Amino acid sequence: MAEPRRPHLLVAVAGTGTEIGKTWVTAAVAAALRDRGRTVGARKPAQSFETDDGATDAHRLGAATGEDAHIVCPPHRWYPVPMAPPMAAAVLGRPALHIATLRDEISGSWPPRADDIGFVELAGGAASPLASDGDAAALTAAIDPDMVVLVADDALGTINAVRL
């Protein structure tokens, strides 16, 4: 079996919750690196969203990296209902997600020319369900990133949320 492709630096972007700015931070850093001549890529293993929200996370990340939104997040992992991905899949009658499958999809999605830096933006918080058999922390362990960036809001009590 061929060795999975991987960026030179793989960064997982996790959060203390949903809607706290993971996509904004990832897109801003990716765009700044790209402006400095680095090759960057982003992956969103699964995304759920309100259909009337306009651009999805995959669209925003793709705009920052120069990739198509369907490369950032494969179309079969788009869930147009605002719920954790495994719950959204169940509500929509789609197959269950599994950590190993998500890991393999991410590993197989990087281009043959290795990106300098690859970002994997996770859904929700670190303990948010991401698959029927694991959460965002489990996927982080499965992809074995070089670095994890934790994004948190700037509200009172954030230190507690980050330390948990």
Residues 31-163, CATH architecture: 3-Layer(aba) Sandwich (3.40)
Which has more confidence, 110 or 4?
A: 110
Q: Is 22 a catalytic residue?
A: no
Which has more confidence, 94 or 158?
A: 94
Residue 94, pLDDT above cutoff 90: yes
Catalytic entry in 22, 43, 44, 103: 44
Q: Name 42's Cβ contacts closer than 8 Å, sequence gap at least 6.
A: 26, 27, 30, 61, 62, 64, 65, 67, 72, 118, 119, 120, 121
β-bridge pairing 134-135 and 129-131: antiparallel
The CA–CA distances, whole Å, from 145 to 72, 73, 108, 117 equal 17, 18, 15, 11
- Residue type for 146, please? D
Residue 4, pLDDT above cutoff 80: no
Q: Where are the domains of the chain?
A: 31-163
Note whether 149 and 41 are within 8 A (CB): no
Tell me how many degrees the CA angle 127-140-20 measures, rounded to the nearest 5: 55
- pLDDT at residue 113, rounded to an integer: 75
DSSP 98: -
- pLDDT at residue 3, rounded to an integer: 62
